Amino acid sequence: MSGDQVLAIDQLRSTLATLSDQQQREAAAATFFEEHALPVVEGHLCTFATRAAADSLYLRHRVKLWPDDLELEQIPGTDVWFLTIELEWGSRVEYQFEILRDGQRWRFNDPYNPRLARSPVGDCSVCCGPGYAVPDWATFRSETDPGQLVDLQVHSAAQGRHNRITVYLPARFETSMPYPLLVVHDGGDYLDYASMKLVLDNLIHDKKLAKIIVAFSYPGERLTEYPDDPDHGQWITRELVPLLEREFPLLAAPSGRCLMGTSFGAVAALSTAVRFADVYGSLLLQSGSFLHSDRAVWHGEGATVFDPVVRFIDRYRSAPVRAVDGRSSPAGRTRIWPMPTGQCCRSFAVPG
């Protein structure tokens, strides 16, 4: 965008300032939302805009470098609210609007933006910044050889129930060669919302990932069994992994075993690796809920569900141990950047 170019929202504001007739002002506002794809990305600047009857209106997001309270400005005499902010090249932002009216707050997706991101906790709107493109490894490609998914029902004596497991076998699977094993917590969510089978197929096809067997697990009472539950660790390590190593050609060594999870699933993966430190060679932890007893950190609504997490992380920070056998695998070093509890990084660094 050239330095003298006027933003679309500024053009609307200038137009509205010249109109005194309310019907004309309404028509001008309606035309803006009809003629522009929202949010409006112009060069490195992005304008979020919507129409609402509100006392205040906020942009809610999870961009670390942005302030938490990004308040939209109302164009006087209209129900149009807007916010212009700079986006980095190639960025992608998931967001919602939050209304404050008559002391009540609620959130909603952008009604003028059809792009949505699905997740286990609900959909939200998506803004694609300048230069953003969906990664090639995350798109369907007809030339990619697909792997296959096999569903199993496995009884757990530790948990007293049958558990569903979906096993991914890579394309051109061979029983004569040993494969590394990746155990994924919240496996159904990774398959449904992150297209993980498609990603595995593409990365293996492009030789960016070694052929691997993946066990996608499904929780029962997720908030109970994921935060440092001994029965869960027993199920994964002493029941599931040995069964898979009997049924499939696996490396059956720490260097060939990795645990993966996000949020509470990351806590489950870490606590399991800590309990069985000689079993796993790698961890892949995403957005872990690694909260500890820090009064400055707000744990959110219904915070009591985090109590067992806090107890586990407090213990781990006070006496950190090597969670995986990093000597067995080049991927064995645990690298974790938990937010907002960044102090945990020091705990992971202590044992190497």
Please list the pLDDT of the chain residue by residue as tens digits (352 residues).
Answer: 445 679 999 999 999 999 999 999 999 999 999 999 999 999 999 999 999 999 999 999 988 889 888 999 999 999 999 999 999 999 999 999 999 999 999 999 999 999 999 988 899 999 999 999 999 999 999 999 999 999 999 999 999 999 999 999 999 999 999 999 999 999 999 999 999 999 999 999 999 999 999 999 999 999 899 988 999 999 999 999 999 999 999 999 999 999 999 999 999 999 999 999 889 999 999 988 888 876 555 555 556 788 888 889 888 888 887 777 654 443 333 343 344 444 454 444 545 4
Q: Does one domain contain both 145 and 112? A: no
Cβ atoms of 54 and 100 closer than 8 Å: yes
79 and 146 in a single domain? The answer is: no
Both 121 and 162 in one domain: the answer is: no
Cβ atoms within 10 Å, residue 203 = 16
Q: Contact 224/267 with Cβ under 8 angstroms?
A: no
Q: What is the pLDDT of residue 344?
A: 52
- Is the residue at 1 inside a domain? no
Q: Which of 133, 163, 189 is the C-terminal boundary of a domain?
A: 133
Please give the order of strands across the beta sheet that includes 257-262.
148-156, 161-169, 213-217, 181-184, 257-262, 282-286
| 47 phi/psi in degrees, rounded to 5 | -110, 115
Whether residues 115 and 190 share a domain: the answer is no
Summarize pLDDT for 227-242 with one digit per residue, the tens.
Answer: 889 999 999 999 999 9
Q: What is the pTM of this model?
A: 0.83
Number of structural domains found in the chain: 2
Do 94 and 152 reside in the same domain of the chain?
no
CA pair distance 307, 145, nearest whole angstrom: 45
User: Same domain for 184 and 217?
Assistant: yes
Q: Are residues 322 and 303 in the same domain?
A: yes
Q: Find the angle CA(12)-CA(13)-CA(19) to the nearest 5 degrees.
A: 90
- The CATH number of the domain holding residue 256 is 3.40.50.1820
Residues 147 and 105 occupy one common structural domain: no
Cα 27 to Cα 33: distance, rounded to the nearest angstrom: 10
Per residue in 75-99, pLDDT (tens digit) is 999 999 999 999 999 999 999 999 9
Q: Give helix then strand counts, H and E, for the chain.
A: 10, 16
> Contact 158/189 with Cβ under 8 angstroms?
no
123 in a domain, yes or no?
yes
The predicted pLDDT at position 296 comes to 54
* Domain membership of residue 269 as a residue range: 137-349
CA distance 215 to 204: 16
| Residue 147, domain member (yes or no) | yes
Q: Judge whether 2 lies within some domain.
A: no
Is residue 270 within 8 A of residue 288, CB to CB? The reply is: yes
Let me know whether 98 and 171 are in one domain: no
**Do 39 and 153 lie in a common domain?**
no
* Three-state DSSP state, 64: coil
